[in-house]
Structure 1
């Protein structure tokens, strides 16, 4: 790099320093990736060792303006800024940001994120701006709610939550489901702590969500979980959750529906070519009195859904084709169970089909969603021509599209992790366009709630 190039770089610098950019990116990508990315520029010869030495203070290289801009392009640009937003929200148990995506599209500013999985965090930060000037990123939510320490009083916990989490209008949480243990209840009782959700939900991650709701009193919330939450522990878990939210002073949409046509259970198949049912709880503060007329029954459904063929890549690496040994195992395993009348087996799909639910175990063998490459069931599994047409797994990019994070016609979702981690992340995530629809459906009520809360405070 000549002196003129260096001078131009220094004059035009407006933003993070070279080292700050590298440090931010190393929270997402590894040294090898960054070196390879820099070497896309002609005549560059960066190595992972050079970047590693730089970060450790053992070397002081400089980035040219071209290199600086090339790296800055890897950092996600904010969709919403503190100068231009309609409402604020927090993103708990955030995963890779499937719920956040839809609420940002409706003008929401994310001010707090909590996600403990380091690989999911990398993917989240690769795709969503997390500017420390207005946003806090937390790993373990229990460090915020202090729920791991039974000696902490409720008030101490609430004070700590208020210090760590910024005020917000909407709370989003795709919390994991756990059994509600009685062990925590008896321990709390022995300490003389008052009854209520602090006892009933102790020891669960829903407890942490409830503590934050109790402390911050957001105008609204959206909670997401697997469909089976309703039947977990013979319905006791779900009843406890609903009772807790009610006692915290929140109206819950369609709370009285408990049958098979429950509007709270929504299939993502209306937005993507995949069967994926989830239970979604939308709540508004009862005292703000804005919930009248809201129902998930009225959630607008798209007129058409992309087909599987729309999201498949035209060419994929051979590594995604099942090995002869794995395919033979899955094929024979399915035949054995079909003979017993179980109907259990792989899910072979073509371009016009709807897939089964993508799961976090997809990385193991891909059996729930296998792309048909022309397999002929009338021929023997050992047929040489047939073996060439063995089915394949989805690629991680196709999984991103199947979950609605990416579109072949739009910006592709960045995947900075291994295939194994990517499969786990998408299998654990949500159908992003479904939550975009929920955010749009909620927004008028959110804005009314914000106005009602302001009037209440002014009075």
Structure 2
């Protein structure tokens, strides 16, 4: 099975694809890899002994292939981004995938992206993509899958789009976005298929390294501030967020005294402010609205209000603009923004903050290591990580969950064997590698 690996990143889709093919005794050959990010190329070359550095927009002539893999850029459709979609250059890169599908007509493809692709622009973006793929002569089937259902302890929902030129696609997998909250994860709910044994439930504790270097430990000063809030038993931090614009199971900068020590009254007022500023009577802003003094007086009308506002503004915990007060969200100032619960699954890894995910392990508050982040994505320990740790954190936040790719591909092969026979008979795969380029 000859394939191309486009938007290859660090090779996660390739790894899952080759793993699935190996399980089905299908030999593979990657005839071309394409990736534009230099650091990702370093990781790819370290593990596959080929540097994929190239720009898909420059690709004209490729070796013959029959399976196209592409994790095309997701930022344009991501909830974490600005959701510009096809108005964003990264969004239009889908049409480069379409161009190569039209030119080479491979038998099959697998595309991976964020779940926001299905809802962006009220579904019109996804409808456009699907229509274009069908117009090229492909049967198209998509699945919304949560990595936590495939033996990966991460609440990560992605869309997987399969295409075949040889008829309707059958599958034993079903769309399941899983839990909306990592803390509501049901350890007994693991999606499987006919050819796999029930998977072992994997939790955060199962991916933690036993011997972690002290450079990943939280600083003594930060730990001291944490203990001031929760006491000496740091395991209380399991599942806590460190965030300045939400309440709930959270710790805030004013409680830690990151910008200066706060009095009990100041702390209580700040907690009241973030709890009330999200009420519908003040607006429908997701993370709350800036409030006037009169609005604040509806929930705090004590005589010391002017004094509190002045003190908190001088310390930098609130700002005042046009007579309205708002918490200053300094979330990047926290050494750890979320302490994972070892007995649950992780929140979704992202490129921007994977390096600030933490855990309390053996009584020590620390950040996750790059290897632990790789394990959260299902990469085996045999996968080599480059020495640039910040790059690895970003790569794992941008990457795919390898076991999900493996499950999708293997399920496709098992349930669509007739498609493989037709593809083989078409002489588009399993033939002499010395065949000339299609474009030639």
Query: Which residue, out of 51, 55, 58, partners 1:143?
Result: 58
Give a deviation string over 1:58-101, Cα, whole Å, max 9, x none: xxxxxxxxxxxxxxxxxxxxxxxxxxxxx111111011111101
For residue 293 of structure 2, what is the aligned residue in structure 1?
Answer: none
* 3-state SS, counterpart of residue 421 of structure 1: helix
Q: What does 1:158-177 align with in structure 2 at a 5 Å threshold?
A: 160=60, 164-177=61-74
User: Matched residue of 1:430: which SS?
Assistant: coil
Distance 1:421 1:181, change over 3 A: closer
Structure 1 counterpart of 2:212:
316
CA apart distance, 1:235: 1.9
Structure 1 partner of 2:351:
360
* Alpha-carbon distance change, 324 to 204 in structure 1, aligned in 2, over 3 angstroms: farther
Equivalent position SS for 2:152: coil
Distance 1:113 1:169 in 2: 14
Let me know the Cα RMSD of the aligned residues.
Answer: 3.1
Within 5 Å, give how 1:160-309 maps onto structure 2: 160=60, 164-177=61-74, 178=76, 179=84, 181=86, 204-253=92-141, 264-270=143-149, 271-285=151-165, 288-289=166-167, 291-294=168-171, 296-297=173-174, 300=193, 302-309=198-205
Alignment of 1:116 onto 2:31: no
Q: Which residue of 1 aligns with 2:377?
A: 403
TM-score (ref. length: structure 2): 0.61
Secondary structure at the counterpart of residue 370 of structure 1: strand
TM-score, reference length from structure 1: 0.59
Unpaired runs of 5+ residues, structure 1, are: 1-86, 131-135, 145-159, 184-200, 255-263, 376-388
* More helix per residue: 1
Check conservation: 1:219, 1:446, Cα contact below 8 A.
Answer: no
Matched residue, 2:46:
126
1:285-307 Cα deviation digits (max 9, x unpaired): 1xx23x35335329627432322
Query: 1:389-422: per-residue Cα shift (whole Å, max 9, x none)?
Result: 4x21110111111111124xxxx32112311001
Secondary structure in 2 aligned to 1:436? helix
Alignment match, 2:251: 335
Alpha-carbon separation, structure 2, partners of 1:99 and 1:182: 26
Q: Say if 1:119 and 1:249 are closer, same or farther in 2 by CA, change over 3 A.
A: same
SS of corresponding position for 2:3:
strand
Q: Is the 8 A contact 1:312 1:398 kept in 2?
A: yes
**Alignment map for 1:8-19 (pairs within 5 Å):** none
- Distance in 1 separating the partners of 2:52 and 2:41: 9
Q: For residue 440 of structure 1, give the secondary structure of its aligned residue in structure 2.
A: helix
Highest relative contact order (Cα 8 Å, sep 6+), 1 or 2?
Answer: 2
**Distance across 2 between alignment mates of 1:311 and 1:182:** 39
